[in-house]
A = this chain, B = another copy of it.
Amino acid sequence: MTKTDPGRFFEDYRLGQVIRHAVPRTVAEGERALYHALYPARHALYSSDEFASHCGLEGSPLDDLLAFHIVFGKTVPDISLNAVANLGYAQGRWLAPVWPGDTLRSESQVIGLKQNSNGKSGVVWVRTQGLNQMGEPVLDYVRWVMVRKRDAGAPAPEAVVPDLPPVVDAGDLAIPEGLDFSDYDFGLAGEPHRWGDYAVGEKIDHVDGVTIEEAEHMLATRLWQNTAKVHFDATHREDGRRLIYGGHVISMARALSFNGLANAQMIVALNAGAHANPCFAGDTVRAWSEVLDKADTGAPGVGAIRLRLVATKGDSAACALKDSEGRYHPDVLLDLDYWALMPV
């Protein structure tokens, strides 16, 4: 009865430790189609090989968030199986497109540890890298989670809290090789709004809503080989509800953001992210965005836009985020801060 994996507890992590996550995964046309079935994804660069070629790429890459979910999913058995909470993300960068046929694996390094004052849990910071079959990094991000201790009496490690800049510097964004938006087809992309049309501070209500079903979030979460029990086992929580993988909400909100941000084609950095409230089947997810910053890139016709993407189970038109005391509005599901690439 001891061959199953109980997951790691707080005292199992060591600063500097490198964890090579199991189960590499080849991703192809099937994952692409499922992504389009699971989310109302319409960004043209990820929908059409022709459109992507016209933008200087060799074909249509797999969705950036699909790559994220696969890389993230591999880390779950080692990082978050005993996690009490997923506390945050920082310094995430997409480093190379993922093409159909690529095989991805993940590696994480422990870069911070801090036991909680209650002595029963602690916070673990890891830097995770997704690698393709050539060993090239395709994605790199930091996340931190609160993990239970197996034994409350285990000694606390020396507290090391990594210094994490709140935003990826625009100069550090990795622009995919060959990307060129100088002959971008706004008609086929679906909206006329270009980078120059967006103003910092501008908010966009993405209008549409999708009511979430149990079958769908489980199909998605399994597809990413994410093994966290709470997403699949209705007997796990006392209330009989399955907690929806936060990444499902990220992808849903990003796809909904097409309406108003159809030209924010590629996600190149994840600055920060909070799963503000849990999402359950039956919730109707809506989204709104706020333009946080804009920057030039060296690539022809390509601008960078920094966006706050908020998913809500309430009214997206209100663009509500936090109350006067800084607490998230109870309807807010997600508060994500990312950089995307747009035609200038």
Chain A residues in contact with chain B, CB under 8 A?
A: 1, 3-5, 20, 22-26, 28-34, 36-40, 42, 44, 47-51, 60, 77, 100-101, 103, 105, 133, 187-191, 193, 197, 203-211, 213-216, 218-220, 222-223, 225, 227, 229, 232-236, 242, 259-262, 282, 284, 317
Contacts and interface: CB of A to CB of B under 8 A. Distances in A.
Contacts of A100: 29
Contacts of A210: 218, 232-233
A20 B191 CA distance: 12
The oligomer's copy count stands at 3
Nearest to A105: B188
Contacts of A262: 22
A22 B233 contact: no
A3 B260 contact: yes
Contact of A22 (B38, B187, B227): B187
Contacts of A103: 48-51
A50 B34 contact: no
Contacts of A22: 42, 44, 187-191, 262
A277 to B, nearest CB: 18
A102 to B, nearest CB: 9
Contacts of A49: 26, 101, 103, 133
B5 A191 contact: yes
A50 to B, nearest CB: 5
A103 to B, nearest CB: 5
Summarize A's interface: helix, strand, loop or mixed. Answer: mixed
A89 to B, nearest CB: 24
B188 A24 contact: yes
A37 B222 contact: yes
Given A191-B3, A213-B218, A260-B4, A133 B50 contact: yes
A19 to B, nearest CB: 10
Contacts of A40: 222, 225, 227, 232
A193 B133 CA distance: 25
Given A225-B42, A232-B208, A235-B284, A51 B24 contact: yes
Given A24-B50, A36-B223, A209 B235 contact: yes
List 4 A-B pairs, minimum CB-CB distance, nearest first. A30-B33, A22-B190, A215-B215, A24-B48
A222 B187 CA distance: 21
A24 B44 contact: yes
A22 B43 CA distance: 10
Contacts of A191: 3, 5, 22
B38 A24 contact: no
Contacts of A233: 208-211, 284
A26 B60 contact: yes
Contact of A23 (B23, B30, B48): B48
Residue among A26, A44, A105, A207 with the highest chain B CB neighbour number at 10 A: A26
A213 B216 CA distance: 10
Nearest to A44: B23
Contact of A219 (B30, B38, B284): B38
A22 B13 CA distance: 49
13 contacts: A3-B193, A4-B204, A4-B260, A20-B188, A24-B47, A28-B29, A31-B33, A37-B219, A40-B232, A49-B133, A77-B190, A210-B218, A233-B284
